[in-house]
Structure 1
Amino acid sequence: MATISKYTTDVGLRYRVRYRKPDGKQTDKRGFRTKKEAEAFANTVEVSKLRGEFVTEAAGRVTVGELWPRWIATKQGMKESYKRTLNVAYSTHVEAKWGAVPVGKVKRSEVREWVHGMAKSASVSRRAHGILAGILDLAVDDKAVHANVARGIPLPRKVRQKHAYLTVPQLATLASHAKANAGMVWFLGTTGLRWGEAVALRGKHVDRERRRIRVEVSATMVGSTLVPDTPKGGVARDVPVTKFALERVPKALPEAVLLPVPSTGRMRTYSPGSESWFSGALTRAQAEDPKIPDLVIHDLRHTAASIAISSGANVKAVQRMLGHTSAAMTLDVYSDLFEADLDAVADAIEAKLAAECGQNVGTGAAS
């Protein structure tokens, strides 16, 4: 049990609380102006020890910045591209606000104000919050704080952007204006491959007889360079490819790049956003067909999903083609493409009722 004693200072009477930490070592805290304050602190110490929540003041002095290297080191299994994203998010959004703050001084109200006052997209705000919360989880594990004040805070909601889809004729128009890169447009617009997956393909990944593409490598952006890495989700998959698309992609030797830079034959080693040929092709295609929406290369993946679904592919097949972790994810991402299914269900039920009831049930009046 804690003991309380008084002592005299130049500014008057003060009280000291002497107590034992969970490890049995004795320590004290002094400077309380009244005995009531000292008793309140002593009671708090005893209760926190019983609950397993005791934290020494010294432990709580470690800063968020001091724990950051340890936390990021736990992410060794992550893709290098995402690890770089975390480093940028920490240095840009977390370090300036929290780097020098002791973990024991981080207040829940201040975390909430920081998250919602960041004036950034929901994704950026949530990522920055996740870094701080992860560091504070480490502080809890180290008994530097007894609870993570960043957990459970309401976060900005992500608003899913409306996808841009091309019709097959529009895809053909875009491909015609892509000139030497027409094969890439057809390939992306019908297979649904991600950019990194497509540029990493080699001749050995194509089975032209079975019309299959084996996706087992993805070129991931690290800094300003694309480097080989595992596909998103870390799982290889087989993707169906049409004979039409294969005919527009030259055959390649097993180790040769399937979709290289047309002028050099080398692997494309830059991000999709820097593909100037695409913006030029899009501008020319829109001049021919003003109904073609503004889009980026990744939207060709959405176009492939749209074509597959409108052609009657079931959701599990589309999931496997796109490499989604579940059919539920596919339904969530492309919920707008399945709206027509509701009409089809209603039409099918009405046709069945009409056939089995022997009358046109659609003309009956409500009673």
Structure 2
Amino acid sequence: MESKYKALIRTVQKISASLDLDEVLDIIIDSIKELVDYSAAVIAIIDKDGIFSAKTRGYPAGAVDHMKLGEGIIGWCIATGQGQVVADVRHNKHYLKARSETRSELAVPITTNTGKIIGALNIESDRCNAYTESELEVLTMFAGVIAVAIQTSMLHKQVTEKQRIDGELQLARRVIEDLLPKSFPLLEGFDIYGVNIPVEAVGGDYFDYIYVFDRLGIIIADVSGKGFPAAIIMASFRAYMHATVINDFSMRFALSRVNHLLYKSIGESKFITAFYGLLDPISKRLLYINAGHNPPLLVCADGSTRLLTDGGSALGVLANPRFSEKVVDFQSGDVLVLYTDGVTEAINSDEEEFGLARLEKVVRRSAHMRAYAICESIVEAVQDFSQPAGGMQDDLTISVIKVK
């Protein structure tokens, strides 16, 4: 027994020198063999989805990756908080076969000083009656000693991961901010303003204005996903759009080319919804293509409304989608509101969405104001609507074009 105590002390010294969870678990599982011999071993940890094998030795690949609480000898051990010696697993009702060679098994819970069970140590032998109550006592004591090290390493990993995610979100936000316009077009006969209000989880919202000779390109888009990957995809989209539309290609050709580049580069699970319009300030005519984006809302001076829905599918989904151009002829007093789903899909405490009807009501009420004031009215309405539910859950991006 004295040799086992010395082995235990050596293990404590080793794991005390590291906060890396993977390294700590390697030390622990290899140190068990100095205390109690095994043919296979697993350190199982509880997570939100059940039990997962944090570290294994001697098992076939994938044999003990995930378990349910209460399932198998390990699951029973964690669920009851009791250790167990099984002389012959072939006669144990809890046993789940992970190795054909296994004959006996020993499992003990890993319990913190506060009594919280965070996992289990489990060892298996190819011999029947390989373990006794003496080995159970040793492994139980060992589990108590290493519980603090495992919990500390797990907390360190969580903190490190949070810091990494926070850093990634900050970088993504800087990328998105660099993509957004720093000023707004001064176009005779029009009042134009836009806003992007980020939330903590960075999305891929984007809006822009591009002068295409004597016309103004108007863009709003939203990439699927969040974080740095979404920001990089949106940066690529902006570069593709700027490089393509300044050549004054037809709108259909421009979006087809951008779609081709995205389809080849962003992966199957990603896509971009986008609205692209070309505004002629002389004729006050807007040519547009809506590529799967939330339909911009046109509130006309005569009291009518129109949703700009037509155009084609989202970008990056199909290899060769078809796009069609549509036309809007503006009149003095008309207001066009482009937006992302952070506006209409904002949720209140009753889990109702803000929706198009509320957006239209706000725009009608503020249509006599300047474009920036219309933007502010929409933002305020969405924030007030979602505040009881904890505030906005997605970026809020709006672009307003008002005809003077």
Q: Could you tell me the TM-score, scaled by structure 1's length?
A: 0.26
Q: Normalising by the residue count of structure 2, what TM-score does the alignment of the two structures yield?
A: 0.24
- From the two aligned structures, give the one with the greater strand fraction: 2
